[in-house]
Structure 1
């Protein structure tokens, strides 16, 4: 595809240089034009994982749009002297697209999360976004992805939201995206927030770029994962001084 956005390179990965609003408008156009698109919403953890896994890195580099989901990516770009305007998060993108899909009567397919979470997602869509046709909804606890892929191929949805966590969601999309001309997007833990089983940080924490700290306070078990941020920033500074 011809990339409609300029990009900013952070540690070998080309992030789209745009705002949340402009990105959502582009996706609406892509959908109306029946384009097949693969979106990766990346934070420092995903970048580090890709730096340590050549195959995963290759998959991320095949994405049509790579967005700066984590504030660490925005900070990294600024340190490197190529600033990005803001975070473009998977959750906010998904919620804006669901509202649009409701208005436009689009078909949406959901894959991922726990069985009770996906049931709650279906219930929420039916009550709050009745204009959406649920093309399919499968939890993330599958051994064989073929029944899911066949269901996507048969239903031909406009959007496939995949909440399998990284790197599983990116592997799934990369492997199967050819079966439907849809917008395919990895959304991590977004179904839990949509279902109400997990809370997103309050607005103040998000606005002050400390959503990560809120999540750590709520889930101390995330501490090991949070160590990705200092490791990532060290790589950013090394990259800056090597250039």
Structure 2
């Protein structure tokens, strides 16, 4: 992130871009147009905590060009540390913003990840909603051999490569293969599922009140173990603030 036009806010050793969603997406669009190789990570408290326990993954995060605050927990942590971030910038919002832009500018896009039924639905929905996007590949996340994927990316040189295999796998894949194409590489977690309607995103009220995490917990109680990371994360932030003060 040495050449980033945005200042950064460090949270538990992870530098978050201090920018708004509009500024950030506009900057990414300019980089794509200039064929600049770009690695974007959208990190939430779960990712930060995982990086704290896994040095190799922490190194992978630091190799990204930009890390955005995906999760109100990151924004709250920045406020608590007196280094506020302008707003939360979710991976799903960046994903959909860039799809709309790619449609207008007839960009080449490669999709990797999710279940076979989801990636099939994604390809169909993109073809219907964004007919001017050139989909140069759509591969589910249950592959055994990367060769066909990496060969397709190298041959087609997509402008945008979205990887939805979940952390840490998606970031590790990007870090290893980003040299194959001078486009934007971005891990988008469960965005494909939400985009095709396989998973419902929280209604706007819950989003506006920063309660998406609670909505996901109510609608899918299996997420309880993952959601317990949030209070652990905030306790770590409290300790950091207390030690600093």
RMSD of aligned Cα (Å): 0.7
> Any idea what the Cα deviations from partners look like across 1:179-233, whole Å, max 9, x if unmatched?
0001000000000011111110000000000000000011000000001101111
Distance (Å, rounded) in 1 between the aligned partners of 2:128 and 2:166: 26
Q: CA deviation at 1:116?
A: 0.3
Q: CA deviation at 1:135?
A: 1.0
1:68-217 correspondence runs (5 A) = 68-217=69-218
Q: CA deviation at 1:137?
A: 0.5
Distance (Å, rounded) in 1 between the aligned partners of 2:149 and 2:132: 23
2:214 counterpart of 1:234:
no
Q: CA deviation at 1:241?
A: 1.3
Distance (Å, rounded) in 1 between the aligned partners of 2:199 and 2:227: 18
Distance (Å, rounded) in 1 between the aligned partners of 2:228 and 2:170: 22
Distance (Å, rounded) in 2 between the aligned partners of 1:56 and 1:9: 16
Give the unaligned 5+ runs of structure 1. none
> Any idea what the Cα deviations from partners look like across 1:29-60, whole Å, max 9, x if unmatched?
00011000000100000000000000000000
Which residue is 1:10 aligned to?
A: 11
> Any idea what the Cα deviations from partners look like across 1:117-155, whole Å, max 9, x if unmatched?
000000000000001000100000012212111111011
Distance (Å, rounded) in 2 between the aligned partners of 1:195 and 1:209: 23
The secondary structure found in structure 1 opposite 2:68 is: strand
Query: Between Structure 1 and Structure 2, how many residues are aligned?
Result: 243
Q: CA deviation at 1:242?
A: 1.4
Distance (Å, rounded) in 2 between the aligned partners of 1:146 and 1:77: 41
Q: CA deviation at 1:14?
A: 0.5
Question: What is the TM-score when the length of structure 2 is the normalising length?
Answer: 0.98
Give the unaligned 5+ runs of structure 2. none
The secondary structure found in structure 2 opposite 1:39 is: strand
Which residue is 1:56 aligned to?
A: 57
